Amino acid sequence: MTTRRALHWVFKIGDRAQSVNFLRHLGMKVLRHEEFKEGCDASCNGPYQGRWSKTMIGYGVEDTNFVLELTYNYGIDKYELGNDFLGLHIESSDVFAAAKEEVTGDGSKMLESPDGYLFHLENKNASSGGPVAGITLASTNIQATVSFWNEILGLTVFDQSETSATLGIDQSQAYVKFVHQAEINHAKAYGRVAFSVPISVLADAEQLAIEKGFTILTPFVTLKTDGKADVSVVIFSDPDGYEICFVGDEGFRDLSQFDPEGSNLLDKAIDEDKSNEWFAKKGKSKSSA
């Protein structure tokens, strides 16, 4: 069993019900759901300190599938989109056939989530790593990006040209593709990609990044979760400011187990979320980030 895994991409969402319905329509299932009263020590929910929730959703368990982490901050209903995230790629003949969108010039179908995130559907059979094949991000300097993700993070370069590069842990797991873009604006909706590695690798990667002069957004920290495994984390920042989370595989494999009550917990939280009504009674609207 490999201990280096591509885990998930984080989306900030403004309306849980709409976002989850969109993903359920694509065939994804809720894997686990958690509610928190205050911000995360590793800025898991962004630079916010209020009440928030985390929902893991995907096509299969986190041990074998690249999934999505939906971050919902109760006081915010909309996030300013940047131009950094270029799309999530799903390879599934069934999902492709079920989508009503028109086929684009490259043979795929493109959907936009309620929060404006792009999803590219491809008419292919899913690989052993599940239907989520990978993500595409913008890069202002392909060579600098490749150097960081290969030399510091240890990802393998699958292909590279002057204008693009694709990297990953191995061909059976989700990839990260970069496409050259002159400028990048992460805005407020910026996401985060996560990988699990042995704790020793996590510590070595942090030290190497520091020696090479790269920014560490969250130095090695062990996050406590009531009733669940503790997880060690380091958050890196690449040359374009993307957040990359390395988590200790030993703890995360236990923490990320499928919760059969996850879907019910999420639906209950959505039903009990009266934040819109509260703001309306105050004559206010939720803030946009």
Q: What is the three-state SS of 65-93?
A: CCEEEEEEECCEEECCCCCCEEEEEEECH
Could you tell me if residue 170 is inside a domain? yes
| CA distances for 149 relative to 84, 144, 165, angstroms | 16, 9, 11
Residue 68 burial by Cβ neighbours in a 10 Å radius (0-12, 13-18, 19+): buried
Flag whether 183 is in a domain. yes
Measured between its terminal Cα atoms, the distance across the chain in Å is: 41
Residue 282 within any structural domain of the chain: no
φ, ψ for residue 130, nearest 5 deg: 95, 170
Split at pLDDT 50, 70, 90, the class of 285 is: low
Can you tell me the mean pLDDT for 244-272? 94
| Per-residue pLDDT tens over the stretch 105-120 | 999 999 999 999 999 9
d(CA 66, CA 224): 23
Q: Can you tell me the distance from the alpha carbon of 127 to that of 82, in angstroms, rounded to the nearest whole number? A: 30
Whether 279 maps to a domain, the answer reads no
Using alpha carbons, list the distances in angstroms from residue 73 to 23, 70, 234.
19, 10, 22
Q: Edge-to-edge strand order for the sheet containing 132-139?
A: 109-112, 118-122, 85-91, 132-139, 175-180, 164-168, 156-160
Q: What angle do CA 44, 49, 50 make, to 5 degrees?
A: 105
- What share of the chain in percent tops pLDDT 90? 78
Domain with 142, as residue range(s), is 5-271
pLDDT at 82 over 90: yes
- The pLDDT of residue 281 is above 80: no
276 found inside a domain: no
Q: What percent of the chain has pLDDT over 70?
A: 94
Position 57 in a domain: yes
* pLDDT value, residue 279: 63
Render the burial of 228-248: b for 16+ CB within 10 Å, e for the rest.
ebebbbbbbbbbbebbbbbbb
pLDDT-derived band at 270 (thresholds 50, 70, 90) equals very high
**pLDDT of res. 287:** 73
Number of structural domains, the chain?
1
Q: How many CB atoms lie within 10 A of CB 212?
A: 11
Check residues 227 and 68 and name the one with the higher pLDDT: 68
| pLDDT tens readout for residues 186-224 | 999 999 999 999 998 899 999 999 999 999 999 998 887
Ranking 43-47, 160-164, 261-265 by mean pLDDT, the lowest is: 43-47
Q: Please say if the pLDDT value at position 1 is more than 60.
A: no
* Angle in degrees, CA 137, 164, 106, rounded to 5: 80
pTM for this prediction: 0.93
280 pLDDT more than 70? no
CA 98 to chain centre: 24
User: What is the arrangement of strands in the sheet containing 192-197, beginning at the earlier edge strand?
Assistant: 29-36, 52-58, 67-73, 5-13, 192-197, 243-248, 231-237, 216-223
211-to-7, 97, 153, 266 alpha-carbon distances in Å: 26, 49, 14, 42
Give the three-class secondary structure for 48: coil
Q: Which amino acid is at 282?
A: K
Higher pLDDT among residues 77 and 286, named by residue: 77
Rounded alpha-carbon distances, angstroms, from residue 29 to 23, 34, 164: 8, 15, 32
Is pLDDT above 80 for 261?
Answer: yes
Hunting for tokens 């105050």 — which residue is that? 282
Confidence of residue 160 (pLDDT cuts 50, 70, 90): very high
Domain containing 216 — which CATH number? Answer: 3.10.180.10
Is 283 inside any structural domain?
no
Q: What pLDDT does 43 receive?
A: 84
Residue 280 covered by a domain? no
pLDDT in tens, 83-113: 999 999 999 999 999 999 999 999 999 999 9
| Per-residue pLDDT reduced to its tens digit, 120-153 | 999 998 777 799 999 999 999 999 999 999 999 9
C-alpha 83/C-alpha 185 separation (Å) is: 6
